[in-house]
Amino acid sequence: MRTELTDLTVAEIRDGFRAGDFSAREVAEAFNANVAAAKALNAFIVETPEHALAAADQADKDKAAGTLKPLSGVPIGMKDLFCTNGVQTTAASHMLEGFKPTYESTVSQKLWDAGAGMLGKLNLDQFAMGSSNETSYFGNVISPWRSKNGGNAPLAPGGSSGGSSAAIAARLCPAATGTDTGGSIRQPAAFTGISGIKPTYGRCSRWGIIAFASSLDQAGPMARTVQDCAIMLENMAGFDARDSTSLDLAVPQWEAGLSADLKGKKVGIPREYRVDGLDADVARVWDDGIAWLKDAGAEIVEVSLPHSKYALPAYYIIAPAEASSNLARYDGVRYGLRDLPDGANLQDMYAATRAAGFGPEVKRRIIIGTYVLSAGFYDAYYTQAQKVRTLIARDFATAFESCDVILAPTAPSAAFALGDKTADPLAMYLNDVFAVPASLAGLPAMSVPGGLSKDGLPLGLQIIGPAFDEQSVLNAGLAIEQRAGFTARAEKWW
Amino acid sequence: MTESTYRIAGATGDWEVVIGLEVHAQVTSQAKLFSGAATAFGAEPNTQVSLVDAAMPGMLPVPNRECIRQAVRTGMAINARINKWSRFDRKNYFYADLPQGYQISQLYHPLVGEGSLAIEADEKAGIAEEKVIGIERIHVEQDAGKLMHDQHPTRSYVDLNRSGVALMEIVSRPDMRSPAEAGAYLRKLRAILRYVGSCDGNMEEGSMRADVNVSVRKPGDEFGTRTETKNVNSVRFVMQAIEYEAQRQVDVLEGGGRIVQETRLFNPDTGTTRSMRSKEDAHDYRYFPDPDLLPLELDDTFLDACRASLPELPDAKRARYEGLGITEYNAAVLTAEVETARWFDALLEAGAKPQQASNWVSSELFGALNRLGKSIEDSPVAPAQAAELLALVADGTISGTISKQVFEIMLETGDAPGKIVEEKGLKQTSDTGTIEAVIAKVLADNGDKVEQYKGGKEALFGFFVGQTMKAMQGKANPQIVNELLKKALG
């Protein structure tokens, strides 16, 4: 019996297509059909089956002509934070509803140049602000997963890349782009039983990605396997002169460099992450991860990241501060929403437009960011937070003197029900507690599935590496993937 | 250093005025500070706007190296410390001419630190001797766009052509004490910018404008509260604004009032200033480091190249001219504008003798250009031709008088002076036989005057010279004429 095409990984699609097992068009049609049939998940804001088919037809032609590209035949999902030429790009905000850029983000362009096709623009938290995909103007994304215990409450797919995680877990696409500012790739990957990597800050160009917090935003891939993440990342990363913070480094051949043999490697376990009241399932999977990496040949060492507890508060000062400034451009003057009440002056137009265009969470962060940058508060908040950021980066640098990678949980719990935390922003922010330190330090970090909670929901393991060493992160991820034997998948209900 | 004696006489005694200037100078560059869009003046609205300048979603700034280079060279020209590590900050505020909602500027770590420039003594303007004005810093920043209120009865339009254009903000110390000193500072700064080539200094087109900080105090007292008059766009207006503002402050203080720290606007039609906003309404700009940009780090190679590219600056050039025997006055005139200096240097290069050349340029050439309404760059006579003309005078081929005639023909025809002299037969004669014959005739024709001369009316000597020269159509060597006349008149 032939496997469903939509169950294949990126590598399997690429290789099967090359081997002539199926055409690119067959693959695109299969995924287009899954996307069309999964409206209940609300993973896509815009579906672009025609784009996927056009790329597939081109791939079929290229195959005949012998001019195949690295991702020929592979359709993917594009987080709707990446500007796509001629295709509505909204950041899941009413503010940008109907906005069609005249330009293509560097990362998406690289993927199209590599032969990939676009299945659609994936839903997300508004302006990437959120951990549950409940802040989108276009509605919540529903996780394909259901708890084995206690009803059928719709679950959060994580955020902000919740459309990406849900779509991959539900086999609507084999891989997707994500962006990670404080865990937005890793946490949704963990919630939905898939993998995702945030590379070193600067690996992927930010040009054409709608900014949330510039010093933290970083694009990365999400997929079902570590190998797929490596393939995708190779085709997303690279120096871009249009982004001043872009790393001027060659892109390593991460896929070819994959090795699950960790002999001679040291894995650091951060003492401070073992917090009181750590969820028992999370602690158990973390211990499993430790055992698997030991089994792969690694030596386990304890490391200390003493300033970890200040990471979350520092993050929730720096990220909103940058966001408050980055989002000032949405003023109703040049594009997007304009709300011009009768007799309104310029200030009135700003106020009306921004009141109508931004959702509550975006407004909350703009207000926090404006406050922490205000005269008289700047030193107490922003300057202090920057100092914390420096200390956290130093913590990691010190830790990496005695280990090659760090293993930690991705999130403090499995997916929660939609609505569970919306009334309490702080509880929501706590979801990022393990993810944020690597973001502040700009380090590569990935989440791979580690097992299931007692309720049958996925839990992720996070691997953090030194700057520029995505390879070690991917390799440790691969070692876990091979041993975790994570085959669970959401049963189709949609 | 003698302090300025400029005072405002008040009912309670004399007041001293304290002035600091923040000059915004547009950097001469093909492209904007953080985008590749063009910067030409006078283009159709919104034709020089990139995606970055319009602040489209996801767009990022990339520093234009040329703008940084020009600011560094400017800093070097005012002997300032160049900061090898500087950083861009965002100044946040909402306005329709500011697409990003923030201006990228440098608050905390400017590119250029402490420097200075010297203004020359100017007795007439009450500047007794050369005075050094401190410059606190130069930072680079983006300009904003422009609102147009005259396009529609009820709506305003926005032109983003200027949005993102690179500006240098040159901040002086409060070292000036009179409108004349402020004027001299501005003129000197403008000259330096134009020598360096980092700003065209065109105040009418807005390439250079000043925010004027003014306070008054009784001589010897602490600084008073200052006001800042924004965007004044000519030297004359800056001086007017200071005069008006200082007098206003004195009137307020003597009337028992208090000066409020505020931003004011200058009205060029009335020469007055009016309040725009007070400190209480001041924006909270929420400055913070721009996270889209890495700190600007400059290495020695770059700085050395900047330094090596600097031209000879006004002060050095002036000293050099004076060393060549050129008068102080002429040296000042010839170095005030970079184009003049460039023209004069070319003239020297072509072999002209400095003193003779400087006198000729400041009288003959300037006079002719004035008459023709032309600037020196458009002079119909090139430095090489002028050098040839001066050489003809210096070697006695033509007289000074004839040279004026030749110069006029040069201005009209563009012909070379040698050719003109040749064709028109204007060569000076030193042939004593010919001259003696003419003298003999002049004396014979004016017997009565000869008698008077011999009777003691020596002033008539000039008359005989004139008559002789006239008879020889100006072509006689005046020195020989003098000698021979003396001899003939015994």
Strands B227-232 and B262-267, sheet pairing: parallel
What's residue B2's pLDDT? 62
- Chain A positions touching B294 (Cβ under 8 A) are 244-245
Q: Is B145 part of the contact surface with chain A (CB cutoff 8 Å)?
A: no
**Count of structural domains within chain B:** 3
Contact B288 A325 (CB under 8 A): yes
Let me know if residue B8 belongs to a domain: no
Q: Is residue B41 very low, low, confident or very high in pLDDT (cuts 50, 70, 90)?
A: confident
In this prediction, residue B280 carries a pLDDT of 63
Q: Of A72, A105, A160, A246, which one is the catalytic site residue?
A: A160
Residue in A96, A327, A382 closest to B288 by CB = A382
- Interchain contact B279–A (C-beta under 8 A): no
Q: Which of chain A's residues have a Cβ under 8 Å away from the Cβ of B101?
A: 325, 327-329, 331
pTM for this model (two decimals): 0.91
- Verify that B438 and B410 share a domain, yes or no: no
Alpha carbon distance A378, B287 (integer Å):
9
Partners of A243 on chain B (C-beta within 8 Å) are: 60, 62
- On chain B, the residues whose CB falls within 8 A of the CB of A333 are 96, 99, 158
Residue B418 gets which letter from DSSP? Answer: H
pLDDT of residue B111: 98
Q: What CA–CA distances, in Å, run from B255 to B219, B222, B394?
A: 19, 20, 67
Establish if B113 belongs to a structural domain: yes
Residue-averaged pLDDT of chain A: 97
| pLDDT tens string A189-214 | 999 999 999 999 999 999 999 999 99
Q: Is the pLDDT of residue A155 over 80?
A: yes
The answer to whether the CB atoms of B94 and A328 lie below 8 A apart is: yes
Query: Residue B75: pLDDT above 90?
Result: yes
Query: What is the per-residue pLDDT across B309-331, written as a single tens digit (0 to 9) for each?
Result: 999 999 999 999 999 999 999 99
Q: Residue B54 falls within a domain, yes or no?
A: yes
One domain, residues B176 and B122: yes
Let me know how long chain B is: 490
Predicted confidence at residue B182, as pLDDT, reads: 97
Residue of A nearest to B156 (CA): A346
Q: Is some CB atom of chain B closer than 8 A to the CB atom of A207?
A: yes
> Contacts of residue B158 in chain A, CB cutoff 8 Å?
333
CATH 3.30.70.1450 fits A1-494, yes or no: no
Inspect the interface and report whether the beta carbons of A215 and B54 lie closer than 8 Å: no
Q: What is the CATH number of the domain that holds B438?
A: 1.10.10.410
Across B308-341, b (16+ Cβ under 10 Å) vs e yields eeebebbbebbebbbeeebeeebbbbbbbbbebb
CA distance B207 to chain A (A): 26
Chain A: closest CA distance from residue B369 (Å): 49
For residues B141 and B285, state if they share a domain: yes
Query: Which of B56, B60, B158 has the CB atom closest to A242's CB atom?
Result: B60
Residue A1 pLDDT more than 50? no
Rounded to an integer, the average pLDDT of A136-147 is 97
Residue closest to A218 by CA, chosen among A492, A48, A446, A11? A446
Residue range of the domain that includes B204 = 21-217+281-302
Asked if A373 reaches chain B (Cβ–Cβ under 8 Å), the answer is yes
Question: Domain segments of chain A: what residues?
Answer: 1-494
Shared-domain flag, residues B483 and B375? no
**pLDDT at B455 (0 to 100):** 87
Which position has the higher pLDDT, B201 or B469?
B201
How much is the pLDDT for B103? 97
Q: Nearest chain A Cα to B100, which residue?
A: A329
- Please enumerate in sequence order all residues whose Cβ is within 8 A of that of B240, keeping only pairs 6 or more positions apart, or say none: B179, B266, B268, B271
Best interface-test mutation with B: which of A102, A334, A377, A440 has the largest number of B CBs within 10 A? Answer: A334
Catalytic one of A72, A79, A164, A198 = A79
Q: Choose the final residue of a domain: B400, B424, B448.
A: B424
Query: B86 with B142, same domain?
Result: yes
Per-residue pLDDT reduced to its tens digit, B435-458: 888 898 898 898 898 889 888 888
CA dist., res. A485 & res. A494, Å (int) = 26
Domain shared by B336 and B412, yes or no: yes
Residues B471 and B429: their CA atoms lie apart, in Å, by 12
Tens of pLDDT, residue by residue over A292-301, are 999 999 999 9
Residues B69 and B96 in one domain: yes
Q: Alpha-carbon dihedral of residues A75, A81, A87, A92, nearest 10 degrees?
A: 110
Query: Which tokens sit at B388?
Result: 């040839």
Residue B170 lies in a domain: yes
Same domain, yes or no: B372 and B479 = no
pLDDT score for B304: 98
Same domain, B401 and B378: yes
A334 and B99 within 8 Å at the Cβ level: the answer is yes
Give φ, ψ of B329 to 5 degrees: -60, -50
pLDDT 10s digits, A37-94: 999 999 999 999 999 999 999 999 999 999 999 999 999 999 999 999 999 999 999 9
* 3-state DSSP of chain A: CCCCHHHCCHHHHHHHHHHCCCCHHHHHHHHHHHHHCCHHHCCEEEECHHHHHHHHHHHHHHHHHCCCCCCCCCEEEEECCECECCECCCCCCHHHCCCCCCCCCHHHHHHHHCCCEEEEEECCCHHHCCCCCCCCCCCCCCCCCCCCCCCCCCECCCCCCHHHHHHHHCCCCCEEEEEECCCCCHHHHHHHCCEEEECCCCCCCCCCECCCCCCCCEEEEEECCHHHHHHHHHCCCCCCCCCCCCCCCCCCCCCCCCCCCCCCCEEEEEHHHCCCCCCHHHHHHHHHHHHHHHHCCCEEEEECCCCHHHHHHHHHHHHHHHHHHHHHHCCCCCCCCCCCCCCCCHHHHHHHHHHHHCCHHHHHHHHHHHHHHCCCCHHHHHHHHHHHHHHHHHHHHHHCCCCCEEEEECCCCCCCECCCCCCCHHHHHHHHCCCHHHHHHCCCEEEEEEEECCCCCEEEEEEECCCCCHHHHHHHHHHHHHHHCCCCCCCCCC
Say yes or no: B119 and B160 in one domain.
yes
Q: Which two tokens stand for residue B120?
A: 């020359």
Whether A244 sits inside 8 A of B291 (CB atoms) is: no
> Which chain A residue lies closest to B104 (C-alpha atoms)?
A325
What is the rounded average pLDDT of the residues B28-47? 93
Q: What is the percent of chain B where pLDDT is above 70?
A: 99
The conformational region for residue B69 under phi > 0 = left, psi -120 to 50 = alpha, else beta, is alpha
Res B399: pLDDT: 82
Q: Which of A151-165, A353-367, B419-433 is the least confident region? A: B419-433
A184 an active-site residue?
A: yes
pLDDT (mean) for B27-47: 93
Report yes or no on B4 lying in a domain: no
- Dihedral over alpha carbons B142, B143, B145, B149 (to 10 degrees): 150
Q: pLDDT tens across B340-366, in order? A: 999 999 999 999 999 999 999 999 999
Q: Is the pLDDT of residue B490 over 80?
A: no
Residues B404 and B337 in one domain: yes
Domain presence at residue B276: no
Among the listed residues B426, B431, B388, B430, the one whose alpha carbon sits nearest the alpha carbon of residue B405: B426
pLDDT in tens, B258-315: 999 999 999 999 999 999 877 666 789 999 999 999 999 999 999 999 999 999 999 9
Q: Which residues of A touch B159 (CB under 8 A)?
A: none
Mean pLDDT score of chain B, rounded to an integer? 93
Whether chain A has a CB inside 8 Å of the CB on B90: the answer is yes
Q: Does a structural domain hold residue B149?
A: yes
Q: Evaluate whether residue B228 is within a structural domain.
A: no
Percent of chain B with pLDDT over 90: 76
What is the chain B residue with the closest CA to A378? Answer: B286
CB A366 within 8 A of CB A358: yes
| Average of per-residue pLDDT across A403-421 | 96
**C-alpha torsion sign, points A464, A470, A475, A480:** positive
Same domain, B141 and B287: yes
Closest CA to A409 of A299, A238, A301, A280: A280
Structure tokens at B265: 């606007």
Sequence-ordered list of residues with C-beta below 8 angstroms from that of A331, at least 6 positions apart, any chain: A349, A350, A353, A354, B94, B96, B101
Helices B328-336 and B338-349: crossing angle in degrees, nearest 10, is: 110
What separation in angstroms does the CA of A391 have from each of A217, A437, A470? 20, 10, 22
Condensed to tens digits (0 to 9), the pLDDT of residues A456-466 reads: 999 999 999 99
